[in-house]
Structure 1
Amino acid sequence: MFLRYVFGCALAAIAFCGNAQAAIMEVTYSGNIYNSFSNDVGGTFGAAGASLEGKAISVAFRYDTSLAPITSGPQNNQISGAAVSVGITINGITKLYNTFYTSLVQNYNDGQKHTNVQAEANFDNSGIHYLTMSSTDNVTGAFPLSLTTAYNFTGPLGNGFFRLENGTQALFTPTHVTSVQIAAAVPEPSTWALMILGFAGVGFVAARKRKNQGVGLAA
């Protein structure tokens, strides 16, 4: 009976944790838009057709570290298909995407002070409406390899570009990049199973002890 009870608890724990998620990270690129090519054709961030040149921009890129395996090596660390959401903010107005055709996040280090962090997403399968951005540090090689660690850098060179489905597009230079964890990882199923098995065992022993004491008193 005890083994059945414990086995049932283990199955319940594993089923409960079947949808466990790893950490949700958010990497934000902040900088300035340049080039007269940058134009709010569709009026997403203000008046339709207005120039975006000289405007400040912030792009928050969220990704789930559990959606695809991290490919680690001496030169790169990347996750494909992990984007959860992308928010582009200009003039205090945010355009939010939460579905993507393809996506990628990557940190690169060649071991010779050439490092960068990169994020990109295709909003559909046309190859026309997409976002790509990267920040590069070729001076100190300070960008980390890990895509699951928070960091904060100011001043690296970089580049970015986006084109929306309504024609709005912009070139920009990120001057500040941050990465933060916005949702904690959930314990693995095996961890939950062990915890519940432990509680189940303690409960069973306590119940049997009470039963034996009751029998002794009755006798």
Structure 2
Amino acid sequence: MLGTRLTLRGILVSTAVFYSALTLPAQAATVLHLSNSGTADNPLQDPAFLSSSTQFFVDNVSGQSAAGPTTLYFLSAGAAPVINSISLTAVSNGGVVGATTAVTFGAVTDTTLNFTSSSPDLYTLVGLNSGNNSINWSNLSSAFNAQFGSTPASFDVYSVLVNTGITGKDFLEVNGTFGQGTVIAPYIAPDLFTSWTNTGVVTGAVPEPSTWAMMILGFAGVGYLAYRRRKQPSFIAS
């Protein structure tokens, strides 16, 4: 009986620890970096593949101020993105985290532009004079062919205007719905932008942390029931 209790306790404790780890904020895996050069992130991250289809972060790694507004650009060969909420967390250049506040934003707008193999880079396509030119068809198609096996012939270009600038090392949290293959490129006027290295591409290939946790709890429960059944004595009627 003691061994059974210890086994059950071990299962429950291990599961609880694993569940807690999975439910911690996954910001590191879903951050799109901004700077005045667009190349502040690890150059081997090409681009940032986002497993979450419901959340991403925009981080000001340069520490420079930009008055705004912020524009989020989306390339999608499927459904338009949906934005539910956006918040800004203040972080000083020294790393001191301040308040998190909700920010207002406009409707998702179809720019009527199409991003194709004959298009210039994205920032030029949408009419920006500044911005990194690496968000181009060559880089996009190479990443899509490697990740998904093919590249759509054309992407619709959507934009969302966010009523905030950024200072220090603030970051934005964006929540909504973003279909697989959606490309995300933020820009904060007048001169904070991203490069292809830091552009987000939604893969949607990894289950959400809560899904993993429920699966693990289920497996633990099934394993324990099987263990109990093996320990129960068998009675054969005479």
| Range of TM-score over shorter length | 0.3 to 0.5
The structure in which a higher percent of residues are helix is 2
Higher relative contact order (CA 8 A, sep 6+): 2
Larger radius of gyration: 1
The structure in which a higher percent of residues are strand is 1
TM-score (norm 2): 0.32
TM-score (norm 1): 0.34
